[in-house]
Each structure stands twice: as structure tokens, then as C-alpha cells.
Chains A and B, each alone.
Chain A
């Protein structure tokens, strides 16, 4: 079953010098149960892809189509996309001072439930679930009372993103360089979280610079994004080849 279908996507980013084309006719299909790794040199459009799919302001879609199941995502507000099951694990999680993690997560899960016509979870049960999840990711439960990402270390921020992934259980997870800035122990915790999330009905798009993450999260496909287009696709061995040879031989 096709989960995500991106066809002929053209997009540009708004800069001070006017719109700058970034994606130039990108195609990508993710079926349920699959993990796709997107690799590529800096500036090739990897993060732009994640931002466009989730509807971040500041980008313009110049052409093409993005379908999540039967829904055309491009006409939807960011919160509507989230309610349909798109999840972005941020490369740089931002702080929201004074809004506790617990409060934020409850607002999130309630909004998702409301949009899907489901019952909102009971507060006590919800809090228990969150505490257990935090523990399983080596996060001190005290951090749930602190402001969202306020005073978190880089590793804590990334583990927090993964905790949200597990809690919200979206259809499609976009992980934007979740491995950057992590030491090897934290990397394993994050990878373990993503593997727990994976199942036959959801999908993962994993944006990364480094093959080492793929030792822990084994992808079904590896794509090389360069200058706004996917120029090479393969299985996990492609990542190893890139690690050995760099990107130059492809471009």
C-alpha cells in the first residue's frame, strides 16, 4: 500500500534575494512498512523536503503533487497534515518557555484525537504512559515538568523528539538529521526508539549525513539527493558505498 507519494515536486525557499529553487522534480514513493533513508551533500534539499512535506512556512511549492494515502497534502495547513499523520522530528527542536512538556504533549494528543473523532485520553493514564516512555528513553521524568526543550542538552532534545514520535504514533515519520550531535550511546537510544515505532502500517523517511545511523536503523531503500533530484537509489549497500567513496562519483 502506498503511504506517501511525491511526484515531480518543484519547490523553492524564500530568501532575501527572492525565491531560490531547491527541489527540481523530485519523485519518492514510500509504502507502508518501509524505511527510506535520504542522503546527500549539504544543500541538496534534504531538509527542504521534510519541511515541504510538513508544511513549514517560508517555502513555496512551484509544481508537483504530494499524496498521503488519498489526501493531497499541499493544500493543507501544517496542523491538518499533522492530524492526518505526518510527524517531523526536528533537526533543531525549539524552546517554548513556560509551557511544560507534559502540557504540550497533552495539547498535542488531544488535538490529534479531536481531529480524528477519537476520545481524548484520560489525564492520569496519559501521564503514566508519558512517564514510562520517558523512562524507556533514559529521560529523567522530572524533565516532563520543565518547559518544552527549555535548558535541554542536545541529546535530550533529540530523545524528546523520539518520545513524541512513540507517543503520537503517526502514519509517516520524517526524521530530519535526528542523529546529528549525538554520542554513540544516545544514538543507540534514538535508533532503538525508531525501531520500536516501526511496524507494517507506518513508514519512515530518514534524513541523515552518516551511514552509522543506518547500522542501527536498517533502511529498505537508500536514496541520494543531489541538486534537488534523487540521482541514485539502492538498498543499504549504497550507504556503505557512499561512506567509502563520498558523493563525488555520482555527480
Chain B
């Protein structure tokens, strides 16, 4: 019957559309890591002494730490001395410039990736689906783009400034808003939080900084696009978002990298701070190069993301669509310190071929009447391993805390694995904690029903998978929801051969 059954679908490798290399001359540090590298990066960015010291402190802590090994992932030991910790396109070494001066080769890179850096254009590659009813006109999105270790452009800065919103590379914020950076950097994720967070604290290069003033609703979506280009480099970006009292911001993050045979390390740190009555919605579409069908190459995505609901009624919502990376190790979390604060985690993680994902969330309830929701959808195809790991902790102070968790796994073929590790620590007997889990398969019967109605195999699989993810896609901003659907299609494309 040809390629019409599930087993046939998982045979071939997937196609990665963002896998090209941009030919720009780069200034790249030779591989290796010691204090001089930390000094170099800090000096390169002309940082104040306190930050240099902070990095060195983190580096000292990192040296005493051990790589974590509890995740359900397997890879050869990483040689941290074989990685270059800084790489920047040469054309960018004179510091930030206006958009007009950005190297055209870089602009072309982003155009190819569907991220236009012209302010008149909305985020592209996300053309509204004509079939979707009630799609609004494409709205503007401000974009910060990080290429290897530096931010090369931030759009709509002026429009945002009028609203009092600060959106700029963190390397710039260190100079323009040192008080804010110094106050909040490391306040949610301490230097020694974990091995990769400590490494990031020592050698982080660039990333985005966002501050939304009191009572301001950010007038547009903010977005950062991360791109690894240079060979043998790691990317260690750091993002810090502060939503002051009663403010609101929606932030999107996208990532891609060229196809290479060797593995590359991406160890980012993202810290969110929501003060009282503030709301941060953070959405990620992660499409780092996943490696080839035999598991050669691909990004190691070891990322620490955490938000703090610092004041009452604050709300932080993480939505992630993870289709890329050879290995993903990532648990976007929320610390619910303010009373009645709300934490949400909506996740779709798709693994194909030899990919491994160990991802989930932590909801730490401290305030009274705090509430958290976790919806995780794991999709495994090929010979991949997909694991949900989550912690719900109810502290003694968290009167009437509530959590709802739903973890669903979908298997495509019979060579892949799905695992769920939910941890619940409840120290307050007024709390309500609910957990639901399911595992299902894309069945030959479902595929046949679609085919019998004339729908071709590839489209049928993608429709079934999209249906499975609907609860999460609903949470994405419209522009991203469409892109996420397409990305799943591309990531599964290989599964059809």
C-alpha cells in the first residue's frame, strides 16, 4: 500500500529549511575557557566593573560545579575547552548601528528566514491563513535579532520609546539603564542556580532587555530572533524582561542554526519579573538544527528560563513550541510569590529521528490563592525520546493554591519513546493539585480515514498532530500560531519521506 501506513511514515529523515550558512567575516575567539575569556567578553562590551566582577564570581562558581546528569538524555561528554565563547560579524564590531547600516548579507539572512528587519513589514513567514476566520491584518512586531554573540538590530525602538518601553540588546541596557540591569540581573536565576546558568552568567554575550513601565500596555508584540551561524561557537544569550506594576507585554522568541555535523551548545538564561498586577506572556518557537536522521550534529539546547510573579495578581505565561535541537533540556518555570498570582505553561515538544527532549516546567507556589496551569503535549516520531518532567511545589505559605496539569503524549511509529515524570511536593493541605495524563498513537485507522476523504498522507499526519496540539496553539499569538503549525509540518515532513 505504499507510503500510507504509520510505519512507512517514520522511515526517512526530515528537511531543515533554516540550515544555510551566512558568509560573513567574523571575529571569533579561539576555543577555550578561562578567566581571560570572561575578561575579554566583558571588555569587548565595555562593561562596568560590577558586571565584570559578577561574571568572574559566576565563573568561579561554575568551575566548582558538576554537569547535571539526571535528565533522560544521552550524549558524549561536552569538551567545554573546545568551544569558542564569542563570535561576532566583523561588520558589527563598532557597536550598535541604525538599521540602514546593518550588513546587507545579514539582512538577507533574516529575509531568508522570514524575519524582515524593515519596520514597515510585520513578522513574515507568518502570513495569516486565509482559511482561518477572523484573522486580523498583520500587526507590527518589534524585533531584536541576535546573530551568534551580538545583537545586530532592534526595530521599532522609537515607537516603543514613546510608550516608555525599553527594548534593546542587554549589552546596551548595561550602559543605558545600569540601575535596572544591576537590580534584576540574576534576581530570578542566581548565578549558581545550575551548571549551565552559571556558565551563562560568566560568558553571556548578548540578548534582549525589556522594561515596561508602570501601567503601560506594550503597544506591540516584542520579539527576539536568535541565530547561530559561526562554527564551533556556543551561544549564551541572556534575556531580562521586567514588567512594572500593572503593565502588560507579549514577547516572542524564535531560533535557528545552520546544519553542521558537530554539535553546538546553546545555553541561554531568560529571567522574567512581573511586579504586582503585571502580565508577561512569553512565547517561543524553537527550531534549532536538530541533527540529521542518524543523530549527527544539531544543537544542544540547555536553557534556564524562569519567571517571578513578584507582586500580587501578577501573571506569567510560558508558551513553547519546541521542534528543533538534538537535545533539549529546558524547564520554563514560574515562582508564584505574590498572592493570587498566576503561572501558566503551555508546551508542544516534537521530536523526530534521533532527537531527545527532556522538558517541562516548575510551578513554585508561595503566595496565597496562587494558581498554575500546565498543559504539555509531547509528540515523538522516528527513533526519538520525548520526556515531560515537571514539578509542582506548594509551600506552607501557599494557602488555597491550585494547580492543574495535563500531559499528553502522541507517538508516531513504534521506535520512539515518551516518558512523563511529574513531581508534586505539597506542604499545605488547603491546596488542590490535579494531574491528568494520556498517551496515544497516530493510528493507521486515523490516517486511512483522512486518506479515504482524499487528503494526502503528509497533510493527514500534520492535521492529526495539529489537532493534538490545539490546546497549546490556542495560547500562541495569532502570528505565531500559524508559524508553529507550519513548523510542525516541516518537522514531520521527513517522517513521510
Which residues does A use to contact B, with CB under 8 Å?
54-58, 77-79, 82-83, 86-88, 90, 93-99, 103-104, 106-108, 111-112, 115, 123, 147-148, 164, 168
B454 with A94: CB separation less than 8 A: no
Report B447-470 CB contacts with A as 1/0, cut-off 8 Å: 011111111110100011011111
B453 with A98: CB separation less than 8 A: no
**Chain B, residue nearest A164 (CB):** B453
CB of B443 closer than 8 Å to a CB of A:
yes
Nearest Cβ on chain A to B62's Cβ, whole angstroms: 43
State A79–B450 Cα separation when bound (angstroms).
8
Q: Which of A58, A95, A111 is in CB contact (< 8 Å) with B454?
A: A111
State A77–B415 Cα separation when bound (angstroms).
25
CB of B446 closer than 8 Å to a CB of A:
yes
A83 neighbours in B (Cβ, 8 Å):
454
State A112–B450 Cα separation when bound (angstroms).
12
CB of B445 closer than 8 Å to a CB of A:
yes
Interface residues on B, range: 20 to 34
**Chain A, residue nearest B473 (CB):** A98
CB of B131 closer than 8 Å to a CB of A:
yes
Chain B 149-181 residues near chain A, CB threshold 8 A:
none
B464 neighbours in A (Cβ, 8 Å):
96, 99
State A99–B446 Cα separation when bound (angstroms).
11
B463 with A104: CB separation less than 8 A: yes
B445 with A79: CB separation less than 8 A: no
CB of B130 closer than 8 Å to a CB of A:
yes
Interface segment, one of B1-9, B118-126, B211-219, B274-282: B1-9
State A213–B470 Cα separation when bound (angstroms).
39
CB of B444 closer than 8 Å to a CB of A:
yes
Nearest Cβ on chain A to B124's Cβ, whole angstroms: 23
Q: Which of B1, B445, B451, B470 is in CB contact (< 8 Å) with A98?
A: B470
B469 neighbours in A (Cβ, 8 Å):
98
A94 neighbours in B (Cβ, 8 Å):
443, 445-446, 449
State A216–B150 Cα separation when bound (angstroms).
74
State A99–B456 Cα separation when bound (angstroms).
16
State A184–B79 Cα separation when bound (angstroms).
73
A123 with B454: CB separation less than 8 A: no
State A79–B458 Cα separation when bound (angstroms).
11
A168 with B453: CB separation less than 8 A: yes
Given known pairs A96-B464, A123-B130, the reply for A111 and B452 (CB within 8 Å) is no
Given known pairs A57-B444, A83-B454, A94-B449, the reply for A78 and B459 (CB within 8 Å) is no
Nearest Cβ on chain B to A60's Cβ, whole angstroms: 9
Report B197-217 CB contacts with A as 1/0, cut-off 8 Å: 000000000000000000000
Which of A87, A98, A148: most chain B Cβ within 10 A? Answer: A98
Chain B 1-41 residues near chain A, CB threshold 8 A:
1-5
Q: Which of A77, A87, A103, A107 is in CB contact (< 8 Å) with B4?
A: A77
State A79–B453 Cα separation when bound (angstroms).
7
Given A78-B451, A94-B446, output 6 extra A-B contacts at Cβ < 8 Å. Answer: A55-B1, A96-B464, A98-B471, A147-B467, A148-B449, A168-B453
B463 with A82: CB separation less than 8 A: no
State A106–B130 Cα separation when bound (angstroms).
12
B133 neighbours in A (Cβ, 8 Å):
123
B468 neighbours in A (Cβ, 8 Å):
97-98
